[in-house]
Amino acid sequence: MRFEVSRETVRQALRELLLEGRLRRMGRGTVVAGPKLDQPLSLAGYTEGVRRQGRRPGRSLIGLDRLACPAALAPDLGVAAGDPVWHLERVLLADDERVGLESTYVAVERAPGLDTGFEPDSSFYTYLRERLGIGFGDADERLETVLATPPEALLIGTPPALPMLLIHRVSRDTEGRPLERVRSLYRGDRFSFTTHLRGAEG
């Protein structure tokens, strides 16, 4: 070889750079990764955060199903166990690049026409606000680092060993009523999250 380095050494270096997010796969090749998407931890949705950085947000539908609410989920949605809920699953896109997965649960009574009046590649928050008149009041979020399951890695198009950022969110409307529960999985090599902190008084 030109640089007198073994192929296995090069392969190992490429694997490490992929895991660090400095390189990414594109088709059958490997390219230098662009800057990470800096997503704020706020009530603003994914769409707004990506647009602020000059990227084109999008989503690809995995499934939209109506099901009986499991008992463990009912308190987060403000319904009784067995009441009908929607489960919306989508791949998150930025300039057509797959960057994450989003799983949303919402009571059918809050969004009764979700299966007919909602465009799956659009913003769910915009749909709630502009079509249904529902505003977001507050939310509880938990962020952790995980590895994607093999099916999740396949949907996002990443190696299973790639670290992911997982956000659990339970949201309420402006009247304090439970609204949604969301599980968002983001590629660790493509995203960072920021928040603004203020000093405690007293």
Q: Is it the case that residue 202 has pLDDT exceeding 50?
A: no
| 38 beta partners | 192
182/30: higher pLDDT: 182
Beta carbons within 10 angstroms of residue 79's beta carbon? 19
Residues in the chain: 202
Domain spans, the chain: 1-34, 37-194
| 120 beta partners | none
Region 173-187: mean pLDDT is: 94
Percent of the chain at pLDDT exceeding 90: 51
82/163: higher pLDDT: 82
CA dist 136 → 3, 9, 127, 172, 174 (Å): 57, 51, 12, 6, 5
Determine phi and psi for 149, rounding to 5 degrees: -70, 160
Region 158-170: mean pLDDT is: 88
| 90 beta partners | 61, 102
Q: Is it the case that residue 12 has pLDDT exceeding 80?
A: no
pLDDT for 132 equals 95
pLDDT for 33 equals 53
- CATH for the stretch 1-34: 1.10.10.10
The DSSP element (H or E) to which 192 belongs, if any, is: strand 191-194
Q: Is it the case that residue 145 has pLDDT exceeding 60?
A: yes
Is there a contact between 155 and 101 (Cβ–Cβ < 8 Å)? yes
Is there a contact between 118 and 132 (Cβ–Cβ < 8 Å)? no
Determine phi and psi for 41, rounding to 5 degrees: -85, 95
200/109: higher pLDDT: 109
pLDDT for 174 equals 94
pLDDT for 119 equals 94
Q: Give the CB-side neighbour count of residue 46, counting CA atoms within 13 A.
A: 27
pLDDT for 40 equals 59
CATH topology of domain 37-194: Chorismate lyase (3.40.1410)
